């Protein structure tokens, strides 16, 4: 049964799920309509810009959800950046295991496929990743004297998490997550007095 009132939300959720698992190009409109249960007319009513518009909205929704999770952890663990780093790597590892390694990253997948050919989506990917880096930097800030240094370290954490997610999905293993978190934590400057 089509829940018309939720058609828009259902389409975005289906897009997030499919873009995470198989990326943008492999996800056709037919599969999106099937998985969201929406009729084609309803889809174009909600997304007159078609799949590209849906991708931009899926990026916003996925970006805000991930940012919210980072912010909550950063706030809880602001006094313990080492625990914050471990919490992010642990959460990503658990998510991968729970999803049977389907849980890719919308931003990373769309970035890899579309950076060279679709500037609006590449810009949205950049904005989403930048918002995550800033949220991570907030959680690490207590160990750094300058914002610049916290952002550089946060970018390293972000890049490592992103690269590790891709590697782990192919490997079907989260074995290296703790090791990488340990390497990053060992590289943190010492707690300030």
Distance between CA 37 and CA 178 in Å, rounded? 39
Nearer to a copy of itself by Cβ, of 7 and 137: the residue is 137
Nearer to a copy of itself by Cβ, of 38 and 158: the residue is 158
Closest distance to a copy of itself from the beta carbon of 70 (Å): 15
Nearer to a copy of itself by Cβ, of 49 and 163: the residue is 163
Closest distance to a copy of itself from the beta carbon of 21 (Å): 5
- How far is residue 111 CA from its own chain's centroid? 11
Closest distance to a copy of itself from the beta carbon of 190 (Å): 12
Nearer to a copy of itself by Cβ, of 33 and 122: the residue is 122
Closest distance to a copy of itself from the beta carbon of 40 (Å): 22
Contacts of residues 177-185 at CB distance under 8 Å and 24 or more positions apart, as own/partner, are: 177/89, 177/90, 177/92, 177/93, 178/86, 178/89, 178/90, 178/93, 180/89, 181/85, 181/86, 181/88, 181/89, 181/90, 184/85, 184/156, 184/157, 184/160, 185/82, 185/85, 185/86
Give me the sign of the Cα torsion angle 5, 106, 112, 123: positive
Closest distance to a copy of itself from the beta carbon of 189 (Å): 8
Residues that bind a copy of itself (CB under 8 A): 21-26, 101-102, 104-105, 107-109, 111-117, 122-123, 125-126, 129, 152-153, 155-156, 158-164, 166-167, 169-172, 176, 179-180, 182-184, 186-187
């Amino acid at each position: 049964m089509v829940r018309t009132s939720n058609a828009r939300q259902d389409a975005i959720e289906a897009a997030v799920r499919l873009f995470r698992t198989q990326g943008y190009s492999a996800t056709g409109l037919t599969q999106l309509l099937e998985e969201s249960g929406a009729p084609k007319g309803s889809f174009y009513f909600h997304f007159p810009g078609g799949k590209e518009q849906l991708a931009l909205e899926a990026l916003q929704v996925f970006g805000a959800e991930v940012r919210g999770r980072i912010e909550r952890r950063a706030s809880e663990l602001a006094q313990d950046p080492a625990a914050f780093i471990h919490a992010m790597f642990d959460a990503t590892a658990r998510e991968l295991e729970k999803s049977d390694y389907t849980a890719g990253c919308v931003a990373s997948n769309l970035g890899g496929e579309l950076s060279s050919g679709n500037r609006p989506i590449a810009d949205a990917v950049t904005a989403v990743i930048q918002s995550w880096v800033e949220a991570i930097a907030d959680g690490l800030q207590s160990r750094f004297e300058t914002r610049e240094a916290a952002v550089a370290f946060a970018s390293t954490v972000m890049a490592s998490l992103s690269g590790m997610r891709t590697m782990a999905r192919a490997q079907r293993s989260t074995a290296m997550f703790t090791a990488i978190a340990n390497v990053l934590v060992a590289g943190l400057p010492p707690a300030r007095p």
